[in-house]
Chains A and B, each alone.
Chain A
C-alpha cells in the first residue's frame, strides 16, 4: 500500500513536469544595440532603456552626412523605421523608433537624441519627471540629457514614487535663477537592506546610468563623462553643504566623532567610452583632474574655482571625455555617510583655454 502510494507521488511529480506549458511569446520590445561606424562617434551610443531614448554623440562630419544605424532587437520584435535606414540630422525632423514585441502586445518608443556639446555651463533650471518612477532629472536648455544621477538605480529599490523620496532633486533654494540641484543622503529601503545597502548618497554626474548593472555591479551603473573638445583650465561653481548628524558605516553602525563630507570633482580623460565608479579616480586614461579640496560644511553659498591639474598636454586629434561628479556623501559609493547630508549645487562651469 505504502509502496503504491509512493508510486502515485512519483507519477504526480512526473506529471507536474509534463504540465510545463508552451513558452510564452516574447513580450519584450527593446532596441538592444544601435551601431554605426565608430569613426562617426564622439562617444559611444547610449540607449536609455528607462526613459526610451537613444543618445548619440556625433562627430561634426557624421552630423552633416547622417548615419545608417544597424539595430538589434528583443527576439522576434520588429521596428520602424527599419534597421539600416538612414537618419539625417541637418533638418528640423525629429527621429524616433517604434519597436513592437513578438507577441504584438507591447510597443516601446525610443526618441533619437543628438547630444550637442555646446556651452560647458549649467544653471540647473530645467527638470523633467520620470513617468514611471517619478524621479527628477535635469536637462539642458536644448532639452537633451547631459546629466545623470543614482536616481534610476534607487527607483529599483522600492522607494515611494515621489520626487522628494529620491536623493537628487530640484530645489528653489538657488544661487542663480529659479532652481538648483539638491542632493540629500537618505536611508536605504526595506528592499535595499536585503542586499546590505543601508544608505543612498545623493549624486549628480555628467554621464549616463546603465540600469542593467544597477543591482549586479552598481559601481559600473554610474557611467561618468561626456565627449569634450578643447583643453580645460578651471572648474567653477557654487555650493552649500550641511553634513548629516550621524556618520554610519556600510553595516549601518554609527561611528561617533566622524563627520560626513561632500565631493565635487571633474576628470578629463582620453577615449570615447565612459569610465565608471570603479576607475574614475585611477584609470590610466585620466589626463587631468580638478578636485574640491575641502568637502566640509558650508552654510552659505560658497564659490569654488579649481584649476585643472593636467598630467600631459592634450593632442588635438584625440577623442576626449569630461566627467563631473558631485555627491552629498564622499564615500557614498561604498554606502557610507550620514543620512541627511545635504549638498546644493548651482552654476557649474568648465572654463576652457
Chain B
C-alpha cells in the first residue's frame, strides 16, 4: 500500500512537472511562478460504503449525513499561469448514518476475551459512522481562467478518532451459518469502532470557483481505495470505502 502511495505521488508530481514544462515553452509572459495559500472549510457528504451493494442488502430505508466538518490549509505552487501543484493538510470528519434491511448477512464477531460468534443475520440494521482523519491531499492543478481552478490527485489519511456502531433489530441470526439454529433478535447493538483502519489512501479531485476577491467555493470528491476494515475483520463480509464529497469555501491568504 505504501509503495502504491509513493508511486501515485511520484506520478502526480511528474505529470504536473511535464505539463508545466510544456506550458512554459508556449507562454513567455511576465508570469512568475508563485505560492498560493488557502484556508479551506466545508462539510463532507457521502458514505462509508461498499462499491456495488452486495445482494445481502435488500433495501436502504434511510440515509443521513452525520455532522462532518472539514477544515484545512492548502499550499499551492503555480508553475505556469494555468498549471500548478498543491499540497494540503486538513482535518476531515467522514460520517453518515443508514438504516437498511439485510438478508443472510454474514458476520463474525471476535471479542477481546477470546470469544467469537459467527452467524447470518436477517432483519433491520442501523449503522452510524463518524471517523476523523488528518488528511494530506496532493494535487495537480489546472486553472483555465481566472474564475476556475480544477485539481486532481490523491490523498493519504491517518485516523485519529473512530466511531462505527449501530444496532440490529426485528430479525434473526443463525448461529454459525445458514443451517445453524435460528435465534430471534429483538434488538442488539454492535460497535466496530476500534476495528477501523488507522490509515486510508485514495483519489481526490474537484474544483474551486472564484466568487469574491479572495473567496472561492469548493467541491472535491474523495474516493478511498483502501477498505476501512482490515481483511481479517469479518464483522461484514464485504469491503467498505470512504467515498465523500467536500462542499465548502476556500479563502486565499
Contacts and interface: CB of A to CB of B under 8 A. Distances in A.
Contacts of B188: 194-195, 215
Interface of A: 1-2, 5-6, 8-9, 13, 16-17, 19-24, 27-30, 49-50, 101, 105-108, 132-133, 152, 155-161, 189-191, 194-195, 211-216
B175 A156 contact: yes
Given A9-B45, A19-B52, A28 B209 contact: no
B157 to A, nearest CB: 21
Given A1-B219, A189-B115, A212-B184, A20 B109 contact: no
Nearest to A214: B183
Nearest to B57: A20
B50 to A, nearest CB: 9
Contacts of B175: 50, 132-133, 155-156, 211
Query: Which of B54, B57, B115 has the most chain A CB atoms inside 10 A of its CB?
Result: B115
A59 B205 CA distance: 76
B252 interface: no
Interface string B226-253: 0000000000000000000101000000
Nearest to B114: A160
Contacts of A159: 115
B183 A24 contact: no
Interface stretch (B3-11, B58-66, B132-140): B58-66
A212 B178 contact: no
A132 B183 contact: no
17 contacts: A1-B217, A1-B219, A20-B53, A27-B120, A27-B178, A28-B178, A49-B181, A101-B179, A133-B175, A156-B117, A156-B175, A156-B183, A158-B115, A160-B114, A194-B190, A215-B185, A216-B184
B94 to A, nearest CB: 15
Contacts of A17: 60
B219 A29 contact: no
Interface of B: 45, 47, 49, 52-60, 63, 103-104, 109-117, 120, 172, 174-176, 178-186, 188-190, 207, 209, 217, 219, 245, 247
A142 to B, nearest CB: 24
Contacts of A161: 116
A5 B245 contact: yes
Nearest to A29: B179
Given A2-B219, A22-B55, A195-B188, A30 B182 contact: yes
Contacts of A22: 55
A133 B180 CA distance: 11
Query: Which of A1, A157, A160, A189 has the most chain B CB atoms inside 10 A of its CB?
Result: A1
A23 B55 contact: yes
B116 A158 contact: yes
B194 to A, nearest CB: 12
Query: Which of B120, B185, B245 has the most chain A CB atoms inside 10 A of its CB?
Result: B245
Contacts of B120: 27
Given A28-B174, A216-B186, A9 B54 contact: no
B53 to A, nearest CB: 5
Contacts of B189: 194
B182 A49 contact: yes
A54 to B, nearest CB: 13
Contacts of A2: 217, 219, 247
Nearest to A105: B178
B117 A158 contact: yes
B219 A211 contact: no
B60 A16 contact: yes
- A-B pairs, top 3 by smallest CB distance, nearest first, are A158-B115, A190-B111, A49-B181
B55 A21 contact: yes
A42 B151 CA distance: 78
A16 B59 CA distance: 10
Given A17-B60, A191-B109, A215-B188, A101 B178 contact: yes
Contacts of A23: 55, 58, 103
Contacts of B247: 2, 5-6
A193 B209 CA distance: 52
A28 B172 CA distance: 12
Contact of A132 (B56, B58, B180, B182): B180
B44 to A, nearest CB: 11
Contacts of A108: 179
A190 B115 contact: yes
